[in-house]
Structure 1
Amino acid sequence: MRLRWTVSLLPMMMMMMVLLNEVWMLPAPGTVSMESVNMRHTLRWRPPQASCGTSILYHVQFQGEFELTVQNGRWVDAHECQRIRHTHCDLTSDLGSDSDYNLQVRAQCGSELSAWTELSRPFNRRDTVLTVPEMNVSAVGGALQVSFDKLPHMAVVNVTVWKKGDELQAVVYRMPAEQKMLHVAALQEGVVYCVRAQTILQPQLQSSSTDPHCLSLTGPGAVWKRATTVTVTVIIMAGLLFAVFWSISHCHPDACQTYFHKEPLPDSLRQTDLDIQIQKSHQEAELCERITMVQSIDSERQASKADAGLMSLLEDRSSELPFTVEFVV
C-alpha cells in the first residue's frame, strides 16, 4: 500500500518541479541578513546573479507570532519595502513587538518573479546591539546639563553623577530616551563633578557605560563677575592712556627736559671744528690799486697819452675784478 502511494506521488512531484521552473525564471536573492543597532532594524540581501534589461525590483514580507498562530501562517507585505531598487530595507516600524519574526525577500525583473529567500533564523528585536550613548556635559550656572543624541526608542538612560574622588556617594538619575536632556541642579560651587551614562532597554539588554566626564562647576555669579572684571580692566587702561597723552601735550619745556632728557651724541658721531682757510688768488689779492696821476702844464701831450692809457687800463680791469681808482691832482 505504501509503495503504491509512493509510486503515485512521484509523477505529481515531477510535474510540480517543472511548473516551478517555468514560473520562477529569475534567480532568487541570496544571503539575506538582519542588522539591528540601537533598535534600528535593517534587512539586507545580495542581488540575484542574473541579467535584467531593466532595474531589478525587490519585495519584502514578514511573519510574526500573531500571523503565524492566529492568521494561519499569513505573510504581511512590509509597507516601505515593496518594489524597491536598493538591496536593503528598514523594518523598524514593522517589527514592533518582542516576538520572533520570519522574514523573506524576492526579486522582480519586468514580469518575471523569483522565488522567496527567507532569513536563516527568526529575528527578535531583543537581539539588537546597544552602543555607548553619545553624551555632552556642560556647566550652566550652578547646575549640570547632560544631553544625548540618537537614543534608542523606548530606552532608559541611567546618568550617574558624583564628586571627583568620592564615587561611593554617586547619585543615579533615570531619564527616558524621549527627554534627551537632564538638568542636575543644587550642586556645590567650585567643586569638580564627574558624569557617566548607560543605555538600558531591559534588565538583560544594556549598553556599555561612557567614560567619566569631569568638569568644575562655576557658581551663578561667575558670569557677571567675569563681565565686570573685563569692563573694569578696559576702563583703567583707557584712563592710563588718556593720562599719558594729556601729560605729553601739556608738558612745560623745563619739566619736559627733566623727564625727557636728551642724551648727547657719542664722540664718534660728533662733528669736529675745522679751521677752513681760503687761499686768495693773485688776482683776488689785488682788489684795490692806487694810481697816482700828476698832470704837468708843460706837457699836455703826455697828459693826453696818460688819459688814453688810463682808459685802456680801466677797460682791461673791468672784465676781471673790481678795483678802486684815486685821482690825485
Structure 2
Amino acid sequence: EYEREYAGGSWIPISECSPTTATICNVTEDISAPVAYKLRVRAELGATRSPWATTEGFFSRAMTSLTPPELRVLAEGQHVLVQLADLGPSFQFRLLYWRKGHESRVQQKVLREVSSVVHLDTMEAGAEYCVKAQTHVQAINRSSSFSPTQCVRAQGDTSLWLLTALLSSAAFAVAALTLPFLTWKISKVFQYSCCPTAVLPDTLKESEPPTQLILQGREEAEQCDLMVVVMPSEEALQLWIQ
C-alpha cells in the first residue's frame, strides 16, 4: 500500500498502487503538481500490517532524475520500427537515428504519444540503421541520458545481393562464350567488304603452275646429251652435193 502527502497536508492513497502485489509502482501521475511530496509504503498480509516506511524529508519533481526509456528496435522488411514503454502523458521521447557509417547526418524524431509500435523510417537496401532514445518531461524541463544504441539491418537484402551476383555471373559467362564467335564473324564481314575475293575466268586460269612447267623443262633438258657424229668423207661429200 502506497500513500502520498503534500507538504502541510494529509496522506492520500495512490490509486494505482493501493493495493498492489508488485514491489514497484509508478507514482508519476500522483506527484505531478510542482509542490513538495513525501511517500510512505507498508506491507499487508490479511489482517496483519507492517509499520509504515517513509521517505526522509520532502521532495519535488524538480529533483527527479529521469532514466533512459526501454527501447526495442525492429526491422520489418526495409522499415525501422521502435517499441517504447508508455510512461504517461507527461513524458515525451526523443529519438535519434542514422545510417551506420553516416553518423554526421543524424535525424531526430519526437514522440508525444506512444503506441505499441512506431514506424521510424524506411531503410535503404543493404544499409544498417542505428537508434537511441531519451526521456523528456516538459513540466520540469528535464531529460534523461540516452539509451544504449541499437542497430538493425534491412531484411531480405542478402538474397537481393545474391540474386544480383548470380545474374552478373550468368551474363559474364554468356558474354565469354559469344564474344569469340562475334569477333570472328565481324572480321569475316569486314574482310569481304574491304577485300572481296575475285573469280578469274577459265581462259585466264593456268592449266599447270609455272613452277611445274619450269621443272619439267629442266628435266627434259637434263635428259638431252650432246652427241658428235663422225661421218666418212664420201658420205659428207654426197650430202653436201645434195
TM-score (ref. length: structure 1): 0.37
Structure whose alpha-carbon radius of gyration is higher? 1
